[in-house]
Structure 1
Amino acid sequence: PAPSPSPFPSPSSPSPQPTTKPKTPHKPLHKKYLCATPPVFLRNKRRNLTYDRGRQLGEGGFARCYLVQNKEGKLFAAKTVAKQSLGNPRMRQKFFGEIHVQKMMRHPNVVRFNECFEDENNIYLILELCSNKSLVEMLRRRSHLTEPEARHITLQLLGALKYMHHTKHVIHRDLKLGNIFLDSYMNVKIGDFGLAALLVSSSDRKTTMCGTPNYIAPEVLYGSKSCGGDGSGHSFEVDLWSMGVIIYALLVGKPPFQAKEVEEIYRNIKECKVGFPEDCRVSGGAKALVKSLLHTDPERRPGIDSIVEHPWFRQGWFPRTIPETALVKEPVWRSSRGDHISANSTAASSSSSNAMDPFPTAPNLSLAIGAPIQNTSTSSILDSLHSHITFLTTALTTLAGPTASSAKAKEEIRQWRSGARNKSVFITKWVDYTNKFGIGYVLTDGTVGVMFNDNSGIVCEGLPSAAGSTTSTGAAGEACGSSATRYAGRLKLPADFEIARMGGGLVVNKVGMWRRFGAFMRDNLEGGEEFVFTPHSGGAGFGETREIVFVTNYARMRDGAVFRFSNGAVQLVSVDHTKIVLEQGAGVVRFLGRKGKIWVLGTEEVRQVVAASSSSIAEGGGQLRREEVRELREEGLEGRLAFLRGFLRGWWREGKVPGVRRRVGQGGGVREEGERAAKEEVVVLGEVEPGADG
């Protein structure tokens, strides 16, 4: 069994001392943000708990950390933030976001959250104690680590990242040596989630520039597309870039792009010229892994499972533990036979029982950090478009030979013929105010969403009532809380989803804008009510959870708009009130005509329309009657589908929404500039530009 924690230490308690004085200059701190020395006893009045405060462990930009002990004698770290430092709304948002993310984490390689409380002057986060400080202190004492140590640390970090990315959908965005801590058993612990972001889907992207210069990924700095700009934001891959920097720093002793000036660091990151000093012994496998992670194109970085299967992990000795003496000097590795082993040795051992035997013996090393994860690269959106393009190409090509509609498509068509109510989720109403705020929309399942130009959004259940359409701060805040609580009861989302989804600005201001958008659509836009359905009456049962659907991308054009949803569906809306909806994997087109009539068409039915001519209307192999084919041709179905196919092809080929001159983020929209925009004046509420259904 592991030894119990040491008692509350006195100043004379022995601890490892650095062999040389750290050469890294101390960074000046913003003292005005830091708290005064807290009282000797920290009291959580709500839970009637008391902590004895000990010595200061460290301090950062706006927080100090103290050693504390509860009445059972267990030691913790108390991250202490002065309330007066949270006067800035952005500081408040950052701090409360950190608390939210930290509370979510339950992993052996992530600093564990215990509780949070406040007194008159400070807010206290009681966290797991990491008594051996961070990798920064370890590297200052050692100058660089051995490859066996780096393998052990890297595997633990990858396990934590896999948990954060796949299970909690969180990007850390500030992964660095100073935020990786060591507990009393030399296990690594990721901490400091002040810049973390919560993604609501694998295709979600963030556009805020944040991080620490030496570790920041190029797509955060430049929007990437290999640093050429006009990229699509950033996602989980930024943490993998930071992993490459960390591995390099562990083996070499400093980050690969380090320079005196920040601008020079950013220039080095953009050029991405990774070199290894000649006097530093680094194996070829380690160099190859680092270079694969430090690729300017995030899509070409290996995933976590691929990293763990890299040959470097098996090319040398792999310790199951690191001794505490490694804090100040290089460990002496010995095999199960007692032989001394070189740190960079690639020899294999025949035994499998000692801490220094090759690890692990299992053929799939990725099992050591959890089950395989799904692809979360930036190509996921483009991949989802390909099935729509294939379906439209098959349906519009009459010379491609007979292709029967799928069984699922035939069942959809049968239900439509029998008069079954709509159960497909698509937009019925929308307003465009992207020149200042963003777009608002109403879906057939009752969801009301707003996507703001800063890439943040609010998604809530139902339109605001006429009586509750106030935009006062208090009422808006209460509405957000109650709506989130009701909505989270049936959706697979955290209770504070709206707050976690926000990018910049005050939450209450955006809730107010959501109310104003919703009230305008409720009072001014008509139509679409016949397609609305109650979610729990189809799909998820009452009291059960269901997956939320919301807009992830949109493009505004001269004659309409194209929307992509979180479930992979695509919708084309036109200024003449027609709509086309393609659901992922459904194999049907839902077409809403100018008169509000809906059709559900498979490949055979679309081919009937395409094959027909004004003089000879063919019945074909589909289920459409002659008069229906004529009506669909008059509605211009073929031309609309051909346009949508061309648009999706351009998006898929170019890697971005095509044919526009200005882009507002990956999750934001695009809109034509020029003649049309110059002729329009858009004023919020009462004069909001309505969408195609206005």
Structure 2
Amino acid sequence: MSSQPPQQIQPTSNGVSRSNSKTSSGTRARSSLGLSPLFHQDDLYDMIPGTSLSEVNTDLRLMLSNLISHAPARRRGGSRKQPHAYVIKWVDYTNRYGIGYVLDDGSVGCVFKGENGQPASSVVVRDGERHIRRKARSVDTPEVKGIPYSESEQLVPRHGNAIEFYENRDDDLLGCRGIRRGMVSPSLFDARSSKVMKIRVNSGSDADRCDAEKIKRVKLVDQFGKYMIGSLGRHGDDGLADAPAPRQTSGQFIKFYQRLGNVGIWGFGDGAFQFNFPDHTKLVISPGRTRSSSPWIDFYHLSPSAARYFAAKGKMHPSGFDTRAIASDEAATFISIANGSSSNSVEERIREILDANSFMEKIGFMKEVLKGWIKYGRLGGRPSTNKTPSGVDSVAPELFWQGTQERTPTGGHGTKFVWVTVGAPDGDGEYRSVMLKDSDREKLEKRGGLSGGVDHEKEMDVLRERLRMMGRE
């Protein structure tokens, strides 16, 4: 069992526009992306193995079937893996463009919604975080003179890594045939070129219009990256200006994002998933060594005392963030220990961590998510709106996490729950949201005579009722 401190995770930024207390459902204003294809017929690209609809569905079934406990005698000892890449910062703009993110290896990327008849796509700039930080440090301020950087005006380093573009190959008859990847020279994004200075989306050759689509996406990556890295703090900048080479990247990219109420889910190119729970824990699950092996889990957790404080108070202890750490092992080992099968003091300590951080409840939620995707026949599958015989919209209940989460303080704006998907094969579902406002809390207090406030279970009851009414308001 390995354990090490995780990188500090800054508060997330949320670009989703606020709604009123009613349930909102349906489409949002389209962006200017997708007015032309992303790839031209002369562009070089390759299909990524294992990304077709049938292959991904098979992998989902295998991951679900292998999420079982092993007897102590079957536990594997000695063999350890490095933690999988994970998302450390993100900005949610799913109601218009998609979602931007920063990986722990310094890669900056975005997953873009399919728009204007074009499929979902994504972009990754390797070592993008370092580039953005160096650009920020090159700016003079009243307190300090900027550190010169020859690429300070560039979207990406002109002599850096190729920019990676990914696009779903959706097919109306055959389903998603997989994801294709194009490696584009950074010279296309030279800020001094006329293409970058003035994007012309409806003029020029077909190739020019495709290049314009690429440039628009890289500009958004730059904007999102500056927001995430700048507004969430500049930490670890020392030595960046003089560092001779970037750190080694994981080669990972995000192909898919889904938010289910209050849980964010990231899908990686290698079939791994990251689940971000509203109690500031996260669970990264990646495929096992073989098709019959237990998946590997990196569990980013709070200390038992901080987790119990959070569960009781509905908020983080003042020093709770400082207690976060990571435990990594096969899912089968964790499940076995969590179910009470511990053979030494180390495993007893792990069991205390798993129990305090609701590990088995999170495994249960993850299983339900996998079952839902399998039920609807594709990664990210969600219930859709149907017409009843009387012509009224009917929506099947959406899945959401009912466990430990932050409670809205009295006088706050309320809590927003969002259901949205970006990058799913064969298209994304509807955007839906529910806002639980203080007025809902007040109604509960009056109804139940609860002078001490509303408990978590009653708030969940309100949310379940709002979801039941979704599509009828």
- TM-score normalized by the length of structure 1: 0.35
Say which structure is richer in helix.
1
Which of structures 1 and 2 has the larger relative contact order (alpha carbons within 8 angstroms, sep 6+)?
2
